[in-house]
Amino acid sequence: MAPRANWKGFLRLSLVTCPVALFPATSESEKVSFNQINRKTGHRIKYQKVDAETGDEVDNDDIVKGYKIDTDTYLEVTKDELDNIALESTHTIDIDRFVPRAEIDDLYIVRPYYLVPDGKVGHDAYVVIRDTIKATGKVALARVVLTNREHVIALEARDNGLVGLLLRYAYEVREASDYFDDIKEMKITKDMLDLAKHIVEQKSGRFEPTAFEDHYEAALLDLIEQKKAGHPIAKAKVKTEGNVINLMDALRQSLKGGKSAPAVAKATPAKGKKSKKRIEGQREMLFPIEGKKAAAKEAKREPAKRPAKTAKTSTAKGSTAKRKAG
């Protein structure tokens, strides 16, 4: 069954216009989804719209849109009032300008759409607009209204058609500095960087979307099949990492094809030998991750020695007690 168009209207470049339809280019309907059910009856859960204060169910005809002014005050906005401010972009994607695709930061991209001719009429105009966009080597910026909101959309030529990238407004994108400014700069040695580059070279290749498997989706399907067959579900074993990870050793192990970073114990200098001079940056390469099990194991290996109570101490305490009693 062909998907339904999210939007239908007209695409316009100056005086050239054609009817078009907008379809989502991606889908998540194929993924496993769950319903909420009543454990006691096995029936699906149904949600009702109720008044937050009275708890009474409210009919759809009595539900209106309201803008919150303060805690208990809402300003009602009717459908007619919203229709009165309908923009031209509600029915027309009007191209405003052309910009280089490289200038659009990926943070601004919401989701992709396929823009196709709607019906047999207007194919010529559609092809003219498509080939014009293709010839410029740029993307066309326009506006479109989806779900009662106006969005910026970037149109780029792809194969025989046009792809529309729905974009966010500037106020919707958070500043990266708010999150990255607290990240400390670390001095990475040349050897460490060279090892990391070798790993990148080993893992380099072409981007092939079909090469990526959705492991969680596969595990969900397997779980469902196992339960349908009445098989017992075994608990997954959780893998644990070592206590201390040395980055250089981890990089070397990665080059050898190791699946996990090796655990490295803190070295204690042997008697009669001088400890090695601390290398600049070495402390940053070691990340202690000491769990409860490690602490317990260490305590078991070297039990703490408690000072033995002497007879003199006991006698002294007893003498003190007698003096207080007297």
Which one, of 109, 114, 113, lies nearest residue 168 by Cα? Answer: 109
Distance CA 110, CA 132 (A): 25
Under a CB-based contact definition with an 8 Å cutoff, are residues 125 and 17 in contact? yes
Least confident of 82-91, 177-186, 210-219, 313-322: 313-322
pLDDT digits (tens, 9 = 90+) for 138-175: 999 999 998 878 999 999 999 999 999 999 999 999 99
Q: What are phi and psi of 33, to 5 degrees?
A: -130, 155
pLDDT exceeding 70 applies to what percent of the chain? 75
pLDDT digits (tens, 9 = 90+) for 275-303: 444 444 444 434 444 444 444 444 455 44
CATH of 7-27+84-172, picked from 3.40.50.620, 3.40.1360.10, 2.40.290.10, 2.40.128.20, is: 2.40.290.10
pLDDT band at 129 (very low <50, low <70, confident <90, very high): very high
Average pLDDT, the chain: 79
What's the pLDDT at 313? 39
Q: For the chain, what are the domain ranges?
A: 7-27+84-172, 185-202+240-265
Which one, of 284, 287, 286, 278, lies nearest residue 187 by Cα? Answer: 284
Encoded tokens for 114: 């396929």
Encoded tokens for 267: 């070295």
Better-predicted residue by pLDDT, 92 or 220: 92
Which one, of 94, 89, 91, 97, lies nearest residue 140 by Cα? Answer: 97
Distance CA 158, CA 133 (A): 10
What's the pLDDT at 208? 86
pLDDT digits (tens, 9 = 90+) for 215-258: 888 888 888 888 888 888 888 776 665 554 677 787 777 777 75
pLDDT exceeding 90 applies to what percent of the chain? 43
Which one, of 106, 102, 156, lies nearest residue 134 by Cα? Answer: 156
What's the pLDDT at 322? 40
